Structures are given as C-alpha cells and as structure tokens.
Structure 1
Amino acid sequence: MKYTVCLENVDSTSYPLLKKWLKEKYEQQFFIQTDSYSGKATHIKIFQISELNDWLKVYRLMKRQNCFYILLLDQRWQHTSPLAIRLQAHSLVFNPVKKSAFIRSMDDVLKLLKKKPAVHFQLEGEKIISAGHTVENEPLENYVLRQLLHQNIQSENVMMDALSIFKKNTFPNAVCYVEGFAHLDCDPADENHSSQLICSYFNQAFTGKVSRLYFIPLRKSMLVLFRQPESICSLKGWQEGRKLFERIIEILLTKHRIQIYIGVGSLYNDPHLLHHSFKEAEIARSLPPFHEVSLRYYEEISKEPDIKKSTVFIHTHFGEEMTARDVARHVNLSYSHFIRLFKKETGNNFSEYVTFVRLRNGVRMLRQTGYTIEEIADMTGFNTPNYFSSTFKKFVGATPRDFRLTKEIVFA
C-alpha cells in the first residue's frame, strides 16, 4: 500500500529538502500530496511550527484530520516543545532538520501505519514517552493564557485562534494572585503537597459557581483564573465569591496550617485586556487590607488623587518617623479632613496603614536578607524589637523568628 504524506506550513527552505529525502528513500511507500485541501485521505501530516500561532493552527487541524503528525519545531520555539506531548503529536523534530532525525521519525510512523499499535511520542526521532503519560505537561489552554497575560498575543487573527481552543463560556475574565507559607507546625505531608491542596480547595469551593478554574504557577506564587458569572459585574460586590475565598483561607489555615494570601484583580471581558487583571491582582496582594489581611480586592484600592499621593509617600518613607499631620501637610489637606478621607478610602486609620506597610517590608527583609530582627525592626520604623515582634505575630500569626524558619509555598 502507498501512503499519503502532506507537507503543510513548511517554509521554502525546508520544503524541497524534505521532499527530496522522501523521494530518495520512500518513493515506493509514500505519495507526496501537494494540495492539502484535495479531499484525499492523508496518512502523515508534516507541519512546521515557526510561531506561537502555529500551535493553535495544528491544534485545530488535529481536530479536523485524524492522521499521524510529525512536527518541525524551529529552534527559537524549543521551550514550547512540551505542547507537542500535550497535543499527542507522534514525533517532533527540531528545525533546521537533521536528515537522520527526520528519517527515524518517518521509519517509526511507517511501522505504526503497518502495525497500528499504540502511538508513542518521539523527540528528535527517538521514542521517549507514551502519549498517554503526559499529566505533568502544561495544558495548551494554560500556555495560551501565559502568552496572553504577558501580552505576547497582539494580532486579532492569533487571538481568534487562541480563543477557539476554549470551550464556550470558559475563557477567564478575572485573575487572582495567590501566595503563602506553611507554619512550623504544618504536617510535613501537607507541606510537601501544599500547592495541590490549595488547588484542590479552590476546585471544591468554586465547582458549580464558575464554569472552570485555570491554575498557572509562577514559582512562589500562583494565578487562579476563572470566568465570573454573567450576572455579576464586580468581583468586589460578589459576596458569594468573597465568602468562598474566605472559606478557602480559613480551612487551609485551621486544618493544614497553611497560610495563603489572595489578591483579586478586576473583571475584563476583552481578552486583550486580561493582563490588566493579572497586574491588578499582584498589586492588590501587596497593599494593606481593606477588611482582612489575607484577602484584598484591587477594586477596593483608592483612586482619590490626594490619597494616592499620600500612600505613595508612606510606601517611600515607611522607615522614617511620620505622623498623619506630616502626610496631611504633604498633600495640602487639613489634618481633620485628611484622617476622615484616609479612613474612608483605605479602610484603615493612618497608623494601621503605616503599620501594615512596615510589616510588609519586614516580611520581605526576613525572607530576602540576613539582617537581624533588631536591625529589621529599626529599618522598618518600629520603636523597639519587642513592639515589632508582637505586632508581627498579631498580623502574621507567627513571630519574626519563627516566620523566618517557615517555608514559602513553591508552586512550580
């Protein structure tokens, strides 16, 4: 039997070379199909990946045409090779193509065509992994979301292809930013699986509330994306969602001694703008709380010009002595008007806000520097190390000394 091979999306440099190799060795076994839309059955599709959009093209092609796929991956996109396993392509060869690797891939596919056994994925012509054993590889949807959040998808055509891989009403329009640590009395088994536990509780809480959750790990933080119910126009105003977040935080802390913090971005229905929700969630996570330390909505952050100016001043001068009167003068407001406006816009009185900013910087120094606790207390503006320690424990749930011994949750 003579099998049909189709070279699709292959550049002008590689096309004649591949065609030559096919004719030299496989003239009796293969017929080279020049028109991929001829309507004839195709047994092997050779497809080149030279840009992000090509992964989306081949994904859609695989849904339409059931045949063997050999992918030619340009070297600059080598970091995307796990997607070939996710798509269950039968072989992957890096471009510029080595003849030996290409021939090995063709030989193996020819054997599979004749015997029709279980399909295996190959890298550079060498069999390495069964296509069924790919659970550790990132889903294509997550890869596309990563590209979108980092603004690597600009073209409208690429965007349409990207959206086509998501089921109806599942493309996310909101982003949460999650960080955390395991307390010293956390069970080692829970600590080792803290990332999976967090994802599990999110899934349990939001099942039936949103169409789907997407988890994107960023090493010491994780993004949780979802599509907000159509009836909701503001995440801050979604009281059921707030209770779900609070419940996840509470049960992880009380049952597993895992402390997480969640920053919640705004709602963006335009996919091109989803990266704003990502940045907002990250900002919300870093700022003083409006209601509670562990949960912060970007929509709660004040947009009032004088308050924004005052908070910038606080974040810049947190290590110095400052009073509400000092900052009121800085923004040209009367003291009485400033303290009322500050409380209304931030949810905190002036001293509470300053204390949190100082603690936040104390946390950073405990994690990232070798300064002593006494030095950190002084550098962050606390009068004494004891006051720093007691305040730290009140907000964080551990003393600075114990906190320094805890481990941040590593999500990736």
Structure 2
Amino acid sequence: MAYCVKLLVDDQEEKQKIETWLTHRSFKQLVVQDIDTICNDDILIMEINTPFDWVKARRLLKRHKDLLILPLLDPSILQTSPIAIELQLLSLFIKPITKHLFYRNIKKALSYSSRNKFALEQEESPIDELLLQNILKEGISAEKIETAFIKGMVPNVVYFIQGLVLSTTREEREGWQASSVIQKEIMKAFSIIGQDVYFLPFRKHLALALRVPSGISSPCYWEEGEKTIVELIDKLKHEYGIQLYIGVGSIHRELVGLKKSYQEARMARMSPPKYGLSLRYFDEIPTNISVQESIDYITEHYAENLSIQQVASQINFSPTYFCRLFKKETGHSFVSYLTFVRIQRAVWFLRNTNQTIEQIAFEQGFNTPSYFSTIFKKVVGLSPSEYRATKEVIFM
C-alpha cells in the first residue's frame, strides 16, 4: 500500500534533509507530494514554530480524522510538546531533526494503518518517552505539563534500576533478553496494583517513573509499592538469574521535579544501604551535616587505615558520641560502613579492570584476599570471581 507524505515545512534546511531521507529504499511505499491539498490517510510532517501552529494541527485533525501528523517542533516552544499527546499524535520531531530518530518514527508511522492509528491510546505513547527524556536530562519547565499525559497518570517519583545477568550464556540459551524481561515483569507487577509505569532506558540503567499514591510522604512508606518491588526482585533472580539493584528518589508533586527525583534515585543507588542492598531510598540517606562530613571523609580516605578516632576528630566529636550518631543516621556501624565503601570500589575494579582479585583486595584496604572474598560475598551475595563472571544488563 502506498502512502502520501506531505511536508508543511518552511525551514529549507530541515525540509531538504527530510526529502533526502525519504528517498531511502526502506520507504519505497512512500510518495512525496506537494502540499496543495491534504487528504485522509496522508502522512503530514508539519513544522510547529508558534502555539498557533498547534491550533492549525488541531483543525486539520478535525477535518481529516485519519490524517497522521508528525510535528516538527522548534526548540523555542518545546514546552508546548504535551499538546502532541493531547492530540494523540504518534510521535514528534524536534529541530534539528536527526536521521536515526526520523527513520525510527517514520517506520513506526508505517506500521499503523488508518484503522488502528488510535490503538495507541491503550499503549504507552512514544511521546511520553520523549517528554521524560527531556525532563530527566534537561529539566523542562512547563506549566500544567501534567495534563499532557494520556491515562491521567502523572508520575511523581523515579526509580533508578541496574541489573546483572548471573549467567552470561543463559539469555542466548533460553531465548530471552534481560532488558525486555525486566520491563515486561515490571509492567506486569505494577499493573496488578493498578499502577501505570513509564520507562526511559539508558545504556546501563533504566529510569522507571510512576506515581506514589497521595497521602504517602515517601516511597519508603509505600508498603504496597515496596512489596511489589521486593517480590519482583525475587522473581527475576529465581526465574531468570537476573539480579536487580534499585535506587528510589523522593516524591515531587510537580512533574518538572522528576529530574531531581531521578538524580536522587541515582544517588540512592550508589549509597550504602540502610537495610537491603537491592532496594535503597534517597529519603534514608543521612541528612545530619556532621555525619555527611564524616561520610565524605571516609569516601576520600577509605583505602587508608582509618580509625573511629581519626574520623570523629574531623568533625570534633568524641568517638563514643560519633559512633552512636553514625549508627542512628546510617544504620551502619563505622566499620561496616567503611567496609561497604571499600567493597563498592572493589566492584568497579572487578568490572572495569584486569587486575587480579589479590591486587584489588590490597588496594582497597583489605589485609588478605581471603578476608576480602569472604566479606565481598557477604555484602554482594557473590564471590569476587562470580561477580566478575556476571554480565551487566544493557537497556535498549
């Protein structure tokens, strides 16, 4: 079936790029035509430079119910992008348009006929992903952007997810992909408790945005959500050999606050856990200024022969008072906290260098390789050699 593509684009540089890309052999079913008339079933790439251009787009959709509009948005009015979701458009482009994004979205458009174009209402919208990407990376500021989300769910917290496949050959042998399995199981688990989720895959981690119900001040007090995550972690480990590590940001009532929640979730993921290694909350990170100063000192000098007296003196506390306060704020004794920081650094060397386990043990402040291996397994759940044999999950 042939499709007519029409370009309502004044920017000649962008228009020329699009016309060139449309000659690709993958798009032989597309016929580029002049913009004299617009018909049902056309694919219209429409430049959006002003808010009034959105009004034009709305009018066109009213007159041609099966028209597929792909807006080309000027960055100066990026804050208006939620209108694309309101209009239930398949996707949008932002100038300057890139070849990869153009090819991907044109192919997506071709996969929908006029009969099922609006079936997207029951699926996650690609524009949700675009908005999340801009919010988490750039921190978009737009009033009432919440109203743009289809399904009426406005996320207020971000989970930072990383994973390991314990067997490097199991994926290929059993015919599944860890990234897809994780996202599928997350969607399934949260749908049971009536929660919609949004994903934004980065290469080595997955950002998960969802909404903690009103009346709950912190994700760590959301019992239903924590139970869902804990059961999910257990299921993935036992059924697929996938180990998840998750950091959770704090709740932000405004959608634009998701960038901060994302940063907090990342920080929580990298912080020593107060309770469990697999699930850590930003709201459990110590806020006491003196304790933070001691943590900074430990982080900087972890490989040295640190003592409680030495760290306590840095913040002008007695060792006794420092131990009591540190335990209360972090959930760790000084020794266990220092040990975790050393193990955390050792994890990086195991993954990113060819150093022997013995070399890593000594460099991270452990007296013997056997003691290092014992403590490593106690903290991580795997021996150093087992951990080195795992594979990081790559999220696509």
Give the TM-score range, shorter chain: 0.7 to 0.9
* Structure number with higher relative contact order (C-alpha < 8 Å, ≥ 6 residues apart): 2
From 126, 129, 143, the equivalent of 1:139 is 126
Select the structure of larger CA radius of gyration: 1
Q: Distance in 1 between matches of 2:243 and 2:11?
A: 55
Residue of structure 2 in register with 1:182 after alignment: 165
Per residue, is there more helix in 1 or in 2? 2
Residue of structure 2 in register with 1:154 after alignment: 141
Q: Distance in 2 between matches of 1:71 and 1:267?
A: 29
Task: Among all aligned residue pairs of Structure 1 and Structure 2, give the percentage whose two residues are the same amino acid.
Answer: 32
**Per-residue CA shift, 1:268-288, capped at 9, x if unaligned?**
011121111100100000111
Query: Is the CA contact 2:91–2:105 (under 8 Å) kept in the aligned structure 1?
Result: no
How far apart are residue 164 of structure 1 and its match? 4.0
Q: Could you tell me which amino acid in structure 1 is paired with residue 212 of structure 2?
A: Q
SS of the equivalent of 1:290 reads: coil
1:266 aligns with 2:240: no
How far apart are residue 40 of structure 1 and its match? 9.4
The root-mean-square deviation of aligned C-alpha atoms, in Å, is: 4.0
How far apart are residue 44 of structure 1 and its match? 7.1
Residue of structure 1 in register with 2:201 after alignment: 217
How far apart are residue 363 of structure 1 and its match? 0.4
Alignment of 1:367-382 (within 5 A): 367-382=351-366
How far apart are residue 151 of structure 1 and its match? 2.3
Q: Could you tell me which amino acid in structure 2 is paired with residue 268 of structure 1?
A: H
**Per-residue CA shift, 1:375-400, capped at 9, x if unaligned?**
11111111111111111112222221
Query: Is the CA contact 2:198–2:209 (under 8 Å) kept in the aligned structure 1?
Result: yes
Q: Could you tell me which amino acid in structure 2 is paired with residue 81 of structure 1?
A: F
1:291–1:47 CA distance, 2 compared to 1 (3 A): closer
Residue of structure 2 in register with 1:275 after alignment: 259
Query: Is the CA contact 2:85–2:149 (under 8 Å) kept in the aligned structure 1?
Result: no
Q: Could you tell me which amino acid in structure 2 is paired with residue 88 of structure 1?
A: A
Residue of structure 1 in register with 2:187 after alignment: 203
From 62, 72, 81, the equivalent of 1:49 is 72
Count of aligned residue pairs for this structure pair: 352
Q: Distance in 2 between matches of 1:408 and 1:82?
A: 29
1:82–1:240 CA distance, 2 compared to 1 (3 A): farther
Q: Could you tell me which amino acid in structure 2 is paired with residue 401 of structure 1?
A: S
Per mean C-alpha deviation after superposition, the further-off stretch among 73-82 and 352-361 is 73-82
Q: Distance in 1 between matches of 2:183 and 2:368?
A: 40
Residue of structure 1 in register with 2:156 after alignment: 173
Residue of structure 2 in register with 1:233 after alignment: 217
Per mean C-alpha deviation after superposition, the further-off stretch among 347-356 and 166-175 is 166-175
Q: Distance in 2 between matches of 1:248 and 1:40?
A: 44
SS of the equivalent of 2:109 reads: coil
1:341–1:26 CA distance, 2 compared to 1 (3 A): closer
SS of the equivalent of 2:221 reads: coil
Query: Is the CA contact 1:374–1:385 (under 8 Å) kept in the aligned structure 2?
Result: yes
Q: Distance in 2 between matches of 1:296 and 1:45?
A: 44
**Per-residue CA shift, 1:62-106, capped at 9, x if unaligned?**
66xxxxx9999744455542674487389xxxxxxxxxxxxxxxx
Per mean C-alpha deviation after superposition, the further-off stretch among 170-179 and 51-60 is 51-60
Alignment of 1:4-403 (within 5 A): 10-11=9-10, 30=37, 36=56, 41=63, 49-51=72-74, 53=78, 56-58=82-84, 60-61=86-87, 74-78=95-99, 80-81=101-102, 84-85=105-106, 88=109, 118=113, 139-156=126-143, 160=144, 162-184=145-167, 187-188=170-171, 189=173, 192-403=176-387
**Per-residue CA shift, 1:188-231, capped at 9, x if unaligned?**
34684222222233223222435301121111111111011123
TM-score when scaled to structure 1?
Answer: 0.73
How far apart are residue 334 of structure 1 and its match? 0.6
